[in-house]
Amino acid sequence: MSPLEPFGARLRRAMDERGPLCVGIDPHASLLAEWGLDDDVAGLERFSRTVVEAMADRVAVLKPQSAFFERFGSRGLAVLETSVQEARAAGALVVMDAKRGDIGSTMAAYAEAFLHPDAPLFSDALTVSPYLGYGSLSPAFALARESGTGLFVLALTSNPEGGEVQHAVRADGRNVGATMLAHLAAENAGEEPLGSFGAVVGATLGDLSSYDLDVNGPLLAPGIGAQGATPADLPGVFGAAVRNVVPNVSRGVLRHGPDVSALRGAAERFAEEIRAAVTAV
């Protein structure tokens, strides 16, 4: 296996050159309907091809949500394969939002499905869940290092239900979310210009100054746009770590489709607003 340049370095360069924006590819039924598409494989393919055509040569990151493709079975996965390959060929980094988490050989198989260069769904990074224990992710970390890819570990998510796990306090007095951040900081120690192992931290969570978000890795931040957060909110949420934030916008951009120029315009506006907010710190 010939590894890529580490994901963190590639991501830092992409955000500096293209702007710090991740656009989700979330073809759920209601959004297909808004585009005038049927909720079937043909609609899925039209939607995905349009987003890739509009975005892949200009945004830093595209993030397909695998569930919306998986629901159509093998034909949906075929669309996902094509979308990932075409997006990467056009220069976007692809973060596969699959939130996989398991133990042992099963976790290794999930990692191989998305992080092995020979895999049809090979992506630049993968979202993973650590809630079978952070150590259960070891096979994914090992393959990511070997292949030059990255991971985004769920740490402080924007959904209200997440708090019952992530805010639970351990015997050492630190809560679970903070523990995940500390693990990631250790994974990224000494990496330049940016580590390859990041956290998912919701942009809607308000003041997070009680957490050490400086993990020397990227912070994937859902919640901009339809969920209520704005680019101007980012410095207040992420503080000094804001330069490493990868804000994710899905519906806020996608609702402007299927017109390609309108999609591009929406993405450019978000990217400029985010860049202005980040550089003002």
Which residue, chain included where needed, has tokens 């976790």?
107
Closest by CA to 187, choosing from 241, 144, 124, is 144
Q: Is 190 left (phi over 0), alpha (psi -120 to 50) or beta?
A: left
Count of beta carbons in the 10 Å neighbourhood of residue 12: 20
Annotated active-site residue 63? The verdict is no
> Which member of 13, 28, 58, 99 is catalytic?
99
CA distance 217 to 241: 9
CB 263 within 8 A of CB 54: yes
CA distance 215 to 221: 14
Q: Which amino acid is at 91?
A: G
CA distance 129 to 38: 32
Would you please indicate which residues are annotated as catalytic (active-site) residues? 99
